[in-house]
Structure 1
Amino acid sequence: MNQEKIWLSSPHMGGNEQKYIEQAFKENWIAPLGPNVTGFEEDLQNYLGENSYVSALSSGTAALHLGLIQLGVVSGDEVICQTFTFSASANPIVYQGAIPIFVDSEEETWNICPIALEEAILDRIQKGKKPKAIIAVHLYGMPFKVNEVLAVANKYEIPVLEDSAESLGSTYKGKKCGTFGRISILSFNGNKIITTSGGGALVTNSQKVKEKTIFLATQARDNAPHYQHSHIGYNYRMSNICAGIGRGQMEILDNHIGKRREMNQFYQSIFSTIDSVSVFNEPNNEYYSNHWLSAILLLNYETREALRLAFEKVNIETRPLWKPMHLQPVFKDCLYYGNNIAESLFEKGLCLPSGSNLTTSDKERIATVIRDFF
């Protein structure tokens, strides 16, 4: 008889989500506006800190799309994007008819390499195509090299669109991820550190940008008694029901972060005597990761696949690290700057079960597979 599946990162409810949902039903706020939407945005603004303005949207991808629009990205523009990421980071570039330019990672945080970033910018400028924006990602909850990346971006006056889909609760030098970009985004997909079942948010330090985001996300309806539209709009606003789930989730966010970090410590302990495996961790105390997913690097592709299949055999989900965007068939013709760090990470890396709801029994099953394998 098969054992119950252990998921990589499953939703984890706290209990009060139902209260906010029931209130929405009671008051008939079954719409993409209402007290929960407003309340969820305020909760996030308070969490992220002073000068944070949040617009709750239907997904993190929607937030990236609206972010690019408000940074002025149009058809034919070039946008630099971290290659080592999920496809949602890059897809909105194409939505705008713009051209992705992919940049390699560095080995400490696995995020966009400041050196390769500057090389890409200089080469594109030399060829008469200065990039319009830079999409930098805090991968698996690990902050990118914020000071170095922003220094390059500011030097060439290119705005950073900060993809914090995986890093709510992470900090760099004590400042929350999601507050470093000209525009930043969050995700509340079902596998994220908190969820609204599906959803995201755009974060900015400008009330004007927030208002423009909500305008575009609600079909860009002009201020008129009839339906009048002077701009192309989108159906990107978060529903009041989903926002109710988010309000309940915000009450337990810090607890979830603590549990995820405990899972990372669990893996560090298990692998401490296995020299052929390294656990992804902060490079120094300037970085604080929520460890949304704990990941390891093995010696080679063959070992990684053998371990993945060993977990799969006993119904435990693991997953290879993100396949770099410049290796994806859909982006095969795009330019790429860097060496082979992202490729190497993909070949050798594996994400392990990291949920905040994993039990002692789950951990023992995971540990047994690892001990038996090595």
Structure 2
Amino acid sequence: MFDRLFLSAPHMGGTELGLVQDVFASNWIAPTGPMVTAFEQELAALTDVTHVAALSSGTAALHLALRLSGIVPGDEVWGATMTFIGGVAPILYAGATPVFLDVDPDDFLIDLDLLEAELRQAHARGAKPKVVITTDLYGHVVDGARMARLREEYGFVWISDTAEAVGAYRDGRHAGKGADFVILSFNGNKIITTSGGGALASDDAEAIERARFLSTQARDPAPHYEHTTYGYNYRLSNVCAAIGVGQLHVLAERVQQRRRIHTWYREALAAIPGLDFSPEATGMQANRWLTTVRIDPAVAKFDNEQTRLALEAENIESRPLWKPMHLQPVFAGAPRRGGKAAELAFEQGLCLPSGSAMTQDDVQRVIDVIRRLAA
């Protein structure tokens, strides 16, 4: 049996251990320190978003963004139905109401035509959302220029969930650029990792300073513990930040390899009827965090679950696309808008192994299994 081939395993670059050893040598193990500062500065340079707070997770970053946006119980927060639970659960933390919108059938990003139509109707009845969350799914990047125009016209706060799109660009701008708040994630399966971690970025200096305050238990300046509001234990540790600094040094290489892996899959499987890969929109450079494929069983004569099981039999991990949030029991009864593009993508879609440490021979293992199914 071959070694286990994981969907997206961590991939160290070589300098991370030395940086962590520097942290240990300095005994600066506490939640803040010079590596946290360096990581924040390098993230700001990468994204071209001026201010960054390094945090314990992308979910924590979204929770803080919603609080800083003034969300209170009863407010509506709109977002794409196809996403990871961490990209919407903080809406419930805030006591707000999630409204789920359908996605584009090609790249699974929020359907901006649908969003614009729904905003127009909501404006007419005086019920606009306070916040709209866009999700840069699987490393594809939403049309930021159009989102900025919609924000200007309808007056919502735009939060860009860029957890899956670090190192991705559209029209020459890093994913999330132009949003009021940008959510980043460095979970163990992301394109770069800090083991567990995330960040909140914004061009609003006061908002990020407030985020740092709230993420360290909202402790007021005093020789004792003084609190005029409540906060959270959301700050990234100096140790994890050291890993992140090292990972940023190899980010461009990781993106290049994931895009190369995507090309290998696409070229090798292009002739199989019923298999479709997500295209890149004009001006986009997706990071291809995960290569996704849609399998139409009526044409291919096999489906995504048969493919997943066949891969698993060869010790290869794959995974269905994100199950739409409006189909999740926890969100039963939540408002939803649009058609069934997300539902169909979930029914037919599969994420293929895409880790940047994979070799062409590793990719060929996956290709061979799919080709046998199609034979």
TM-score range, shorter chain: over 0.9
Structure 2 equivalent of residue 31 of structure 1: 30
Q: Structure 2 CA distance, aligned partners of 1:300 and 1:151? A: 39
Contact 2:158 2:179 in 1 (8 A): yes
Structure 1 equivalent of residue 4 of structure 2: 5
Contact 1:79 1:100 in 2 (8 A): yes
Q: Structure 1 CA distance, aligned partners of 2:303 and 2:289? A: 24
Matches within 5 A, 1:1-374: 2-49=1-48, 51-125=49-123, 128-284=126-282, 286-300=283-297, 303-374=303-374
**TM-score (norm. length: structure 2):** 0.96
3-state SS of 1:149 partner: helix
Q: Structure 1 CA distance, aligned partners of 2:101 and 2:309? A: 31
Q: CA deviation at 1:15?
A: 1.0
Q: CA deviation at 1:262?
A: 0.5
State the AA in 2 paired with 1:273: A
State the AA in 1 paired with 2:10: P
Contact 2:134 2:159 in 1 (8 A): yes
3-state SS of 1:306 partner: helix
Q: CA deviation at 1:326?
A: 0.5
Q: Structure 2 CA distance, aligned partners of 1:348 and 1:61? A: 27
Identity within the alignment, %: 44
Q: Structure 2 CA distance, aligned partners of 1:300 and 1:122? A: 38
State the AA in 2 paired with 1:10: A
Q: What is the RMSD of the two structures over their aligned residues, measured on CA atoms?
A: 1.4
**TM-score (norm. length: structure 1):** 0.96
3-state SS of 2:231 partner: coil
Contact 1:271 1:279 in 2 (8 A): no
State the AA in 1 paired with 2:314: V
Q: CA deviation at 1:47?
A: 1.5
Question: Could you list the per-position Cα deviations for residues 240-275 of structure 1 after superposition, in whole angstroms to 9, with x for gaps in the alignment?
Answer: 010011011011010100110001101111112123
3-state SS of 2:303 partner: helix
Q: Structure 2 CA distance, aligned partners of 1:89 and 1:127? A: 28
How many pairs are equivalent? 371
Contact 1:280 1:296 in 2 (8 A): yes
Q: Structure 2 CA distance, aligned partners of 1:188 and 1:307? A: 29
Q: CA deviation at 1:152?
A: 2.3
3-state SS of 1:297 partner: strand
Question: Could you list the per-position Cα deviations for residues 99-130 of structure 1 after superposition, in whole angstroms to 9, with x for gaps in the alignment?
Answer: 10111101233111112213333444455532
Q: Structure 2 CA distance, aligned partners of 1:87 and 1:154? A: 28
3-state SS of 2:209 partner: helix
Structure 1, unpaired ranges of 5+: none
Q: Structure 1 CA distance, aligned partners of 2:123 and 2:100? A: 15
- Moved segments of 4+, more than 6 Å: none
Q: Structure 2 CA distance, aligned partners of 1:328 and 1:166? A: 21
3-state SS of 2:263 partner: helix
3-state SS of 1:4 partner: coil
Contact 1:109 1:144 in 2 (8 A): no
* Farther-moved stretch of structure 1 (177-186 vs 64-73): 177-186
Q: Structure 2 CA distance, aligned partners of 1:28 and 1:320? A: 43
Q: Structure 1 CA distance, aligned partners of 2:119 and 2:229? A: 31
